[in-house]
Amino acid sequence: MASGADGRKYRSGTLAPGGVSAAAFSGTRSGPGLAPAFPGGMQMPEESLTITDNRTNITYTVPLHHGTVRAMDLRKIKTGPDDFGLMSYDPAFMNTASCQSAITFIDGDKGILRYRGYPIEVLAERCTFLEVAYLILFGELPTEPELKEWTDKITHHTMIHENTKEFMRGFHHDAHPMGMFISTIAALSTFYPDARNIQSRQVRNHQILRLIGKVPTIAAYAYRHSLGLPYVYPDNDLTYTENFLNMLWKMTELKYEPNPVLARAAEVLFILHADHEQNCSANTMRCVGSSHADPYVSVAAAAAALSGPLHGGANEEVLKMLDEIGSVDRVPEYVEKVKAGHLKLMGFGHRVYKNYDPRARIIKRTAEAVFEVTGRNPKLDIALELEGIALQDEYFVKRKLYPNVDFYSGIIYQALGFSPDMFTVLFAIPRTVGWLAQWQELLEDAEQKIARPRQDFIGHDVREFVALEDRVTKVAPVSD
């Protein structure tokens, strides 16, 4: 075992945090008094890193590509033939690219978000959600006939099997809608066994149509279930978001008339949430998909990852937090608690954005349009005060903590009449598109294999077995 920069013990051959991460292509015995790394005739790669292994005094040249080194190249750095070779150690993937992707680009320092090269601001202003979905999935904005055909196909997949309805009816009246959503998506796997043929692009595309068509229906049924209202069948005359509002809010009227401002707000919110590169749920989709599981169970797994309060579940937590604060004058006191480390400011901070989340800016503007129809949500004043204080305060400035997408979305959702437990379901509908695009990309990437990280084993070496009668208590009792 070797000691890392953090004082922990590391298995020989594992890079300790703070260590150099690199790969060995050409090994040359070098070091004080020895030959240089690139003796005459040897070509230095155009972009490369030079690493000296101080254990062996061997110097390696490591090629770089797009600012990355290949972790598998590290294995070539060995102390001898029996050595496993170096690994990189990166809990929570803080600095590891797990794939090459052409879908979504984020520059977290500049606050830039683009889908397939198009800035999010333009897409949110000029497109419909299904147009953006097509772009994300197929790489190009659709032509008019392509969009018509795509919309038509999705629209004809919005119905769910009557047995799925029955299945959903079985949930307790106060079941969390996200739990209902996740389980029902997984249950679709039992209705479409053909989906297991994930090798066929045609079969995959069919499931993509089904999933994008059905997620609003399942989400709306989960919502109606929590209110004890009968489920509403999809209306194919309406747009994707209008139909969603129809399935949520239609009562006894013969034909539901969606409010155009609210339908457009839903469209914008869906566009903003459609994809966000390798976040926790996208990574889950890729991880589960890499075992060649079918897309229904893979999307269910991704949705489960989304439900956590550090990810998509944060929008629900923001509302709870604003409720807890209660009034504008109590904001400074709350901020002090956050700074003291007692609480997190939900809807603030991001692994990638170290600047204002561009989605939060658009949502803030969308909120104003929604409030013209619904009336102003008084929570907005608390949120604005919270943002104002946080953006000035050294604690948040130093850590580059800015509002993220979840900070203002919940305030809109609440103004629309949703209870907080529905918020993450509203996030999951559009994100299904992103998950499916990541899944397609994974399955078409010849370099990808089943996701299977390594570990740095820190447990016991082999131990002598102790017979039951000779054992002494070493573990604290398990409380129930």
Residues annotated as part of the active site: 311, 350, 406
Whole-number Å distance between alpha carbons of 214 and 155: 9
Q: Which of 1, 5, 34, 310 binds ligand CMC (CB under 6 A)?
A: 310
Whole-number Å distance between alpha carbons of 357 and 347: 11
Q: Which of 142, 258, 349, 358 binds ligand CMC (CB under 6 A)?
A: 349
Under rule CB under 6 A, residue 431 binds ligand CMC: no
Q: Rule CB under 6 A: which of 185-244 touch ligand CMC?
A: none
Cβ proximity to ligand CMC, 11 vs 344, nearer residue: 344
| Range in contact with ligand CMC (rule: CB under 6 A) among 58-66, 154-162, 282-290, 337-345 | 337-345
Q: Rule CB under 6 A: which of 238-277 touch ligand CMC?
A: none
Under rule CB under 6 A, residue 401 binds ligand CMC: yes
Q: Which of 351, 354, 361, 376 binds ligand CMC (CB under 6 A)?
A: 351
Q: Which of 344, 354, 361, 376 binds ligand CMC (CB under 6 A)?
A: 344
In the bound state, the residue with its beta carbon closest to ligand CMC is 349
Whole-number Å distance between alpha carbons of 464 and 21: 37
Q: Which of 405, 422, 425, 428 binds ligand CMC (CB under 6 A)?
A: 405
Residue 170 CB neighbours (<10 A): 10
* Residue keyed to tokens 């018509």: 148
Q: Is 403 helix (H, G, I), strand (E, B) or coil?
A: strand
| Range in contact with ligand CMC (rule: CB under 6 A) among 169-177, 244-252, 264-272, 343-351 | 343-351
> In the complex, what is the shortest distance from the CB of residue 213 to ligand CMC, in angstroms, rounded to a whole number?
24
Contacts of 340 (CB under 8 A, 6+ apart): none
Q: Running DSSP on this structure, what letter comes out for residue 87?
A: B
| Range in contact with ligand CMC (rule: CB under 6 A) among 187-195, 215-223, 398-406, 446-454 | 398-406
230 vs 58, 99, 173, 263, CA distance in Å? 72, 44, 13, 22
Whole-number Å distance between alpha carbons of 358 and 411: 17
Under rule CB under 6 A, residue 279 binds ligand CMC: yes
Query: b/e map of 3-27 (b: 16 or more CB within 10 Å)?
Result: ebeeeeebeebbbbeeeebbbbbbb
Token duo for residue 397: 């400035």
Under rule CB under 6 A, residue 346 binds ligand CMC: yes
| Range in contact with ligand CMC (rule: CB under 6 A) among 241-249, 345-353, 366-374, 457-465 | 345-353
| Range in contact with ligand CMC (rule: CB under 6 A) among 169-177, 209-217, 285-293, 349-357 | 349-357
How many of the chain's residues bind ligand CMC (CB under 6 A)?
19
Cβ proximity to ligand CMC, 7 vs 228, nearer residue: 7
* CB burial of residue 119 (10 Å; 0-12, 13-18, 19+): middle
> In the complex, what is the shortest distance from the CB of residue 161 to ligand CMC, in angstroms, rounded to a whole number?
30
Cβ proximity to ligand CMC, 55 vs 114, nearer residue: 114
Of 252, 213, 254, 251, the closest CA to residue 234 belongs to: 213
Alpha-carbon 235 to chain mean position: 30
Under rule CB under 6 A, residue 127 binds ligand CMC: no
Q: What is the DSSP string of 122-143?
A: HHHHH--HHHHHHHHHHSS---
Contact 50, 59 (CB under 8 A): yes
Cβ proximity to ligand CMC, 51 vs 367, nearer residue: 367
Positions touching ligand CMC (CB under 6 A) are: 279, 310-312, 314, 338, 344-351, 399, 401, 404-406
